[in-house]
């Protein structure tokens, strides 16, 4: 069989375009209505997507007056999605900076049990400066410290997920024995940031461990992904930078002793699909006309750690000097680089830059026919830029439906995408090896 594409649906607001929330074709449901998310997950499952994904930020956006900035807490949402779907993988974001590893290991293990092995965790270190203010400190934890903490966090959660052997529960009612204590062990972790005795207070989860997703693209972020991630989300506006990222991350994974095909790389793609190219362009212009540049200006400021862009006129060409040095930004390094590369390359005006970022915040946006979208996907997939895509429909649910009914059949005809689910778990959809716990070995050594 040909190498197969992996497709994730990134659910965000009423679509990824900044103005989607006010577009007449977007969902009429409130962004706090669980039926909205359940309907999208079921539609994605009907279209045979590998997974759906929910992002998260730990602070209210400053532009809530003119932009839909409300959503539900993702771990809670996944529980509600797990019970109305059967096969599709479910990915929620949670922060290593602002939670405790014991809580997180328990929440994701619970979700993996609830969903019968379909859960993944998008590991973030939380780049938003305003998030720090909601967690006791006024100052943001630095980029380097966030990753140092995340590294220790991973060690702890993995040990907790491995603290129960698969055969620990016997549930022998007649014999009066529920579990075998020799198959459950403490972790006794004492590190710089965490002290955790363990074991976890629940049996090993169906996937062994939840699937791990990561999306850091800075040097530190890439090395972290190469060590821990099964799947990597990334943002690129051009195939060349996606190819560079793909080659680099696969090499870093190999250097960590991992098989490169066990780290899937899914760049974002936000396609506006029409029955003709002209129609797709018209729809893209129509939604762009609904954007408010002042919302974009505030978002840009958030991306650059709160930098003040208010003095910049909208219609003057930008230069890199209009931006702070990326090295001084404690927020998300990689996206600041994507934006600066665009400024260097195209010298857009601020209005043009904000227009571009309104589409999908620095991910690839395109407008075209189903054939054109399928061609682009096949080209990146076969030319060393992607193992699949993080699909970010500009308008939900309308553009997800079109993708499912018009683009996916083309990918299936080309032999690139499944025609039915063959596995039950997300690990199987992603073709990932089963994680081995060192429990057996250590238990024997200790015996
Ligand atoms: C598709 C995608 C989704 C992301 N989702 C989140 C998110 O939900 N919450 C968050 O804080 N960061 C999110 N990020 C940001 C990254 O996880 C990462 O924190 C950021 O890129 C900073 O790390 P870096 O400096 O190593 O790039 C996302 C990035 C990408 C590409």
Ligand 1 pocket mutation, candidates 124, 222, 341, criterion most atoms within 8 A of CB: 124
Residues 95, 96, 100, 101, CA torsion sign: positive
Q: Is the pLDDT of residue 441 over 60?
A: no
Average confidence (pLDDT) over 48-64: 93
Between 281 and 337, residue with greater pLDDT: 281
Mean pLDDT of 189-206: 97
CA of 242 to the centre of ligand 1 (A): 16
**Mean pLDDT for all residues in the chain:** 93
CA of 11 to the centre of ligand 1 (A): 15
Residues contacting 245, CB < 8 A, separation 6+: 217, 222, 234, 236, 265, 267
Cα(112) to ligand 1 centroid in Å equals 23
pLDDT of 447 reads 36
Nearest CA to ligand 1 atom 8: 55
Asked which of 129-143, 306-320, 417-431 is least confident by mean pLDDT, the reply is 129-143
Q: Which of ligand 1's atoms lies nearest the C-alpha of 126? A: 11
Pocket test for ligand 1, best of 55, 97, 142, 220 (most atoms within 8 A of CB): 55
pLDDT of residue 325: 82
Q: For ligand 1, what atom is nearest to the CA of residue 268?
A: 1
CA angle, corner 91, sides to 90 and 93, nearest 5? 150
Alpha helices in 83-142 (DSSP H): 101-114, 129-132
How many angstroms is it from 209 CA to the middle of ligand 1?
22
% of the chain at pLDDT higher than 70: 96
Closest C-alpha to ligand 1, atom 5: 55
In angstroms, what is the span from residue 153 Cα to ligand 1's centroid? 17
> How many Å lie between the centroid of ligand 1 and the Cα of residue 332?
7
pLDDT of amino acid 145: 87
Residue 179 bridge partners (DSSP): 169
For 9-13, what is the mean pLDDT?
97
pLDDT, residue 445, reads 45
Which atom of ligand 1 sits closest to the CA of residue 128? 11
Ligand 1 centre from 131 Cα, in Å? 14
Taking the CA atoms of 69, 72, 77 and 81 in sequence, report the sign of the dihedral they define.
Answer: negative
Residues 6+ apart with CB under 8 A from 51: 8, 9, 88, 89, 90, 91, 118, 120, 426, 429, 430
Q: How far is the CA of 124 from the centre of ligand 1 (A)?
A: 6
- Atom 23 of ligand 1, residue of closest alpha carbon: 216
pLDDT, average across residues 151-171? 97
pTM of the model: 0.92
Distance 219 CA to ligand 1 centre (A): 13
pLDDT at 443: 45
What lines the ligand 1 site, CB under 6 Å?
Answer: 55-57, 93, 124-127, 215-218, 220-221, 233-235, 268, 332-334, 390
Instruction: Tell which atom from ligand 1 comes closest to the C-alpha of 10.
Output: 1
CA 177 to ligand 1 centroid distance, Å? 45
| CA-closest residue to ligand 1 atom 9 | 56
Q: What is the pLDDT of residue 326?
A: 73
Max avg pLDDT among 259-263, 288-292, 333-337: 259-263
Q: Quick count: other Cβ atoms within 10 Å of Cβ 152?
A: 16
Range in 139-143, 216-220, 240-244, 355-359 the model is least confident about: 139-143
Q: Is pLDDT above 80 for 327?
A: no
């Amino acid at each position: 069989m040909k190498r197969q594409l992996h497709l994730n649906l990134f659910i965000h607001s009423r679509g990824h375009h900044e103005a989607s929330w006010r577009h007449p074709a977007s969902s009429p449901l409130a962004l706090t209505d669980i039926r909205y998310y359940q309907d999208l997950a079921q539609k994605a499952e009907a279209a045979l997507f590998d997974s759906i994904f929910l992002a998260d930020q730990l602070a209210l956006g400053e532009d809530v007056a003119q932009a839909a900035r409300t959503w539900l807490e993702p771990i809670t949402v996944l529980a509600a999605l797990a019970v109305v779907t059967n096969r599709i993988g479910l990915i929620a974001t949670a922060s290593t900076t602002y939670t405790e590893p014991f809580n997180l290991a328990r929440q994701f293990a619970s979700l993996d049990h609830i969903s019968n092995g379909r859960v993944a965790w998008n590991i973030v270190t939380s780049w938003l400066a305003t998030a720090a203010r909601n967690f006791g400190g006024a100052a943001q934890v630095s980029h380097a410290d966030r990753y140092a903490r995340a590294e220790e966090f991973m060690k702890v959660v993995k040990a907790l997920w491995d603290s129960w052997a698969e055969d620990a529960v016997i549930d022998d009612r007649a014999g009066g024995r529920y579990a075998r204590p020799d198959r459950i062990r403490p972790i006794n972790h004492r590190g710089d940031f965490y002290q955790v005795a363990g074991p976890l207070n629940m049996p090993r989860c169906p996937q062994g461990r939840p699937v791990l997703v990561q999306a850091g693209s800075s040097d530190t972020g890439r090395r972290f992904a190469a060590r821990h991630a099964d799947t990597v989300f990334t943002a690129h506006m051009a195939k060349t930078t996606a190819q560079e990222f793909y080659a680099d991350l696969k090499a870093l994974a190999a250097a960590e002793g991992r098989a490169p095909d066990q780290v899937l790389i899914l760049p974002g793609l936000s396609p506006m699909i029409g029955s003709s190219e002209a129609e797709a362009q018209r729809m893209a212009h129509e939604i762009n006309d609904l954007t408010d540049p002042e919302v974009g200006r505030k978002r840009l400021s958030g991306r650059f750690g709160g930098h003040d862009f208010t003095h910049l006129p909208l219609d003057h060409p930008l230069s890199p000097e209009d931006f702070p040095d990326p090295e001084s930004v404690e927020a998300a390094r990689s996206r600041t680089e994507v934006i600066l590369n665009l400024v260097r390359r195209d010298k857009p005006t601020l209005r043009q830059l904000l227009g571009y970022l309104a589409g999908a915040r620095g991910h690839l946006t395109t407008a075209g026919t189903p054939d054109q979208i399928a061609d682009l996907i096949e080209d990146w997939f076969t030319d060393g830029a992607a193992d699949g895509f993080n699909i970010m429909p500009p308008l939900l649910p309308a553009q997800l439906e079109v993708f499912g009914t018009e683009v996916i059949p083309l990918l299936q005809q080309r032999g690139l995408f499944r025609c039915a689910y063959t596995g039950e778990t997300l690990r199987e959809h992603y073709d990932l090896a089963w994680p081995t716990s060192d429990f057996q070995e250590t238990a024997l050594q200790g015996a």
